[in-house]
Amino acid sequence: MADGGALPKAQITRRLILEAAASLFRQKGYAEVSLREIAQLAGVKTGSLYYHFESKESLVEEILTLGTQGAFEASRDAVAALGAAADPVDKLEAAFTAHARFLLEKEDFASANLKILPQVPPAIRERHVRQDREYATFVAAIIDEIADAGRLGPDVDRTLLRMLCFGALNWSISWFDPKGRSPSEIAAQLMILIRRGALASPS
Amino acid sequence: MADGGALPKAQITRRLILEAAASLFRQKGYAEVSLREIAQLAGVKTGSLYYHFESKESLVEEILTLGTQGAFEASRDAVAALGAAADPVDKLEAAFTAHARFLLEKEDFASANLKILPQVPPAIRERHVRQDREYATFVAAIIDEIADAGRLGPDVDRTLLRMLCFGALNWSISWFDPKGRSPSEIAAQLMILIRRGALASPS
DNA sequence: TAATCAAACTAACGACCGTTAGAATTTCTC
DNA sequence: GAGAAATTCTAACGGTCGTTAGTTTGATTA
């Protein structure tokens, strides 16, 4: 039967391998996970991996790309949905909420990315740090919007603020519990910190 | 010559091995680093490692302990130096500043700890998560002090606040640049966020 | 049903890993 | 300086790793 859609049988297996690998990489790290382990979780024999991927490195490279692009797109779409004229602080909230959501409740690509990017061979790492930089620039632009409107505290460093916020969110992959606070609540708490600080009355 | 101090020759080599291993673990991860690599950086042949350590696992275990204890003690001492009657917010600042300093400018044990704790064999990991928990409890008590004085914002979750702050600090090992902002400045920026938020005027 | 191609499997290779036994060397004691 | 103890090195082991060649199975077309 002529398949009209672009869904050859192999693409399904390919996806299964990617998801199995991302899940294991996220839990254990890059070198800690063997191709035999990935194949087993994907329900495939080890040698079969090489029908779909050139090497372990090319497999991890695709996972890294899926993670970065996914988080970036989720963030960008959420901000775009507000319209260009929206309050830039609301834009920041949309970006952080989408980031937390993609990181913690979607597939494992984004969390695997954060976990293994520093462990991956240097050549691959450098290539993907660029992609991360695009994402960083996007968020930096939102913070610039806030600053240009004169709404940033006088002693606040834009870059440092961005780093600390992303750190707070990204680190959550190491303590997040699906039965505890939701990704949205985590992002919301961060926004409270940004908008008013953690304290009640004056300084 | 009868050495009065407890510094046999071997302790020096032992320390060199620990520092070499911590440095490599911090950069690459646990399984990514071989004993041959560690030995070479320490200026020792591979087999000699086993005169000082029982196994790779016992070596990494000591590094984990040095990291956790070091950060905890640095934090605890800095808080204690303020006196028990000090402003609890100042205590928090002292704890975070000491944490950032130990993490970023002292030896690599603390940063190696954060990096490889999730990658290490489960038995070792569980043992050391307990040590981390003691440290977490210590900081949680300071935040409780702030809350009990009624100085925490009404919509602030104590646990979430602690997690986000430690995340912001801990993640800095992935972007910290000795030529950029100092550890103290990083902690100070976080405290600005906690005390007043990032924005200038009212909400 | 026979031929063709896609997809997955089997079995093995060389390289590197953590680890160990035993010899060589250095350092300390008398 | 001789002997003992502490420290380091040499050389190799079994096991696992990523990878590959060749074969088998499954699906597609005529």
**ipTM of this model?**
0.91
In which band, very low, low, confident or very high, does the pLDDT at B68 lie, cut at 50, 70 and 90? Answer: very high
Count of pairs with CB atoms under 8 A, one residue in A, one in B:
161
Helix ranges restricted to H, chain B: 9-28, 35-42, 49-52, 56-80, 88-105, 109-116, 122-148, 158-170, 183-196
Task: Please give the DSSP secondary-structure letter assigned to residue B178.
Answer: T
pLDDT at A185: 97
pLDDT in tens, A24-36: 999 999 999 999 9
Six-digit token string for A181: 């606070």
What residues have CB less than 8 Å from A58, skipping those under 6 apart?
none
State the angle between helix axes of B35-42 and B9-28 in degrees (0 to 180), rounded to the nearest 10: 130
Q: What is the pLDDT averaged over residues B118-136?
A: 93
The residue lying closest to nucleotide C16, measuring its CA against C1', is B34
Q: What is the pLDDT averaged over residues A136-145?
A: 97
Cβ B171–A163 below 8 Å, yes or no? yes
pLDDT at A9: 73
Burial string for B165-192 (b: 16+ CB within 10 Å, else e) reads: bbbbbbbbbbebeeeebebeebbbbbbb
Nearest CA in chain B to A151: B200
User: Which of B154, B163, B199 is facing A195, going by the closest CB pair?
Assistant: B199
Nearest CA in chain B to A29: B119
pLDDT in tens, B191-201: 999 999 878 76
Helix ranges restricted to H, chain A: 9-28, 35-42, 49-52, 56-80, 88-105, 109-116, 122-148, 158-170, 183-196
CA distance B181 to chain A (A): 8
How many Å from the CA of B37 to C1' of C20?
19
Can you list the domains of chain B with their CATH numbers?
Answer: 57-197 (1.10.357.10)
pLDDT at A57: 97
Burial string for B61-76 (b: 16+ CB within 10 Å, else e) reads: bbbbebbbbbbbebbb
Cβ B194–A195 below 8 Å, yes or no? no
Cβ A164–B189 below 8 Å, yes or no? yes
Q: What is the pLDDT averaged over residues A127-142?
A: 94
* Closest C-alpha among B125, B119, B183 to residue A32: B119
3-class secondary-structure state, position A69: helix
Cβ A154–B200 below 8 Å, yes or no? yes
Residue B47 has pLDDT above 90, yes or no: yes
Residue A202 has pLDDT above 80, yes or no: no
What are the angstrom distances between the C-alpha of A55 and each of A60, A61, A116? 9, 10, 17
Which nucleotide is closest, CA of A47 to its C1'?
C9
User: Rounded CA gap, A197 and B15, in Å?
Assistant: 43
User: Rounded CA gap, A191 and A176, in Å?
Assistant: 18
Q: What is the pLDDT averaged over residues A160-185?
A: 97
Positive or negative, the CA dihedral A73, A79, A82, A85 is: negative
What are the angstrom distances between the C-alpha of B167 and each of A17, A47, A176, A202, B53? 31, 40, 12, 26, 32
pLDDT at B4: 31
What residues have CB less than 8 Å from B115, skipping those under 6 apart?
A118, B25, B26, B29, B173
Chain B residues with CB inside 8 Å of A170's CB?
Answer: 167, 171
Residue A38 near residue A78, CB atoms below 8 Å: no
Residue B172 has pLDDT above 70, yes or no: yes
Which nucleotide is closest, CA of B14 to its C1'?
D7
pLDDT at A181: 97
Q: Which of A132, A156, A193 would best serve as a mutation to test chain B binding (most B beta carbons within 10 A)? A: A193
Burial string for A124-146 (b: 16+ CB within 10 Å, else e) reads: beeebeebbeebbeebeebbebb
**One-letter amino acid of A197:** G
User: Does B80 touch chain A if contact means CB atoms closer than 8 Å?
Assistant: no
% of chain A surpassing 90 pLDDT: 88
- Give yes or no for CB of A11 within 7 Å of strand D: no
CA distance B103 to chain A (A): 15
* Average of per-residue pLDDT values in chain B: 92
Which nucleotide is closest, CA of A46 to its C1'?
C9
In which band, very low, low, confident or very high, does the pLDDT at A124 lie, cut at 50, 70 and 90? Answer: very high
* Closest C-alpha among A112, A102, A56, A57 to residue A78: A102
User: Rounded CA gap, A108 and A129, in Å?
Assistant: 19
What pTM was computed for the model?
Answer: 0.92
Residue B5 has pLDDT above 80, yes or no: no
CA distance A128 to chain B (A): 14
Q: What is the pLDDT averaged over residues A39-53?
A: 96
How many Å from the CA of B25 to C1' of D4?
38
User: Does B41 touch chain A if contact means CB atoms closer than 8 Å?
Assistant: no
- Give yes or no for CB of B47 within 7 Å of strand D: yes
User: Does A31 touch chain B if contact means CB atoms closer than 8 Å?
Assistant: yes
User: Which of B118, B154, B185 is facing A174, going by the closest CB pair?
Assistant: B118
